[in-house]
Amino acid sequence: MRLKDKVAIITGSGRGMGRSDAIIFAREGAKVVVCDINGDNAQAVAKEIKDAGGEAFSIKTDVTKPEEVEALVQETIKRYGQIDILVSNAGWDELRPFLHTDINFWNKILDLNLKGHMHCVKAVLPHMSKRNCGKIVTIGSDAGRLGNPMEAPYSAAKGGVIAFTKTIAREFGRFNITANCVCPGITDTPLAQEMISAIPEKEKALKMMETVKAMTPLRRIAKPEDVAYAVLYFSSDESNFVTGQTLSVSGGLVTV
């Protein structure tokens, strides 16, 4: 087991990519803290893990609120005594032309998709630094590497996540803490389906998906498990000398 007895906090793990992370981490021996803004979803995933013989507990957490993030960290320390891994995964987006956005939308996107990561990382670092070890994996996006039409605020936020992760890697490497960023492309998750279904012209939305598949060398979009295994690598001992890196998981669509 690659994560035997490791304690892993995974934000946004009530569904989608975060859920896949939680299931796979538990299978690899981790004690998983399932946290999500939707407490019922988090509870269901924790139950799924325990029913399969793994160890997990759930906690409702809004990562845009520092006090809730701190409560999450304190509860994890209380139960398990340590934090070995943080997968900062929680995120959200809505497709909008830039001129149809406003400052309230910008703030909503940036609070969750950039500052939420910063809240989580800041909360775990004192505990990891004290133990002189830790793995931090942030979930960015290829939108943050290349920019994406209809996702200007989101692209800006995810570009910030990439730069933030590199900075944490440089600043905390002396404490034997690694920080790496996984950047998915379009992934078959409930959020992606909701975003596409919200496009008024259904025919245009379907055509867009087919175009993305045709442009992708592997000729499909990612499954949540594809992303989860990249996250697993950065969370395991196999990546002990890898830090400050950004890995696209997009079937070859992005190669820079």
Active site residues: 154
Residues 183, 140 contacting (CB under 8 angstroms)? yes
160 is written with which tokens?
A: 């910030």
Length of the chain: 256
Residues 139, 88 contacting (CB under 8 angstroms)? yes
Q: Give the separation between CA 256 and CA 212, rounded to whole angstroms.
A: 17
Residues 64, 37 contacting (CB under 8 angstroms)? no
Q: Give the separation between CA 80 and CA 83, rounded to whole angstroms.
A: 8
Strands 177-184 and 85-88: unpaired
Calculate the CA 55 to chain-centre distance.
20
Q: Three-class SS of residue 256?
A: coil
Q: Give the separation between CA 18 and CA 21, rounded to whole angstroms.
A: 5
Calculate the CA 200 to chain-centre distance.
28
Q: Pseudo-torsion of CA 195, 108, 162, 87, nearest 10°?
A: -80
Question: Which secondary-structure segment (H or E) carries 168?
Answer: helix 152-172
- For residue 71, the one-letter residue type is A
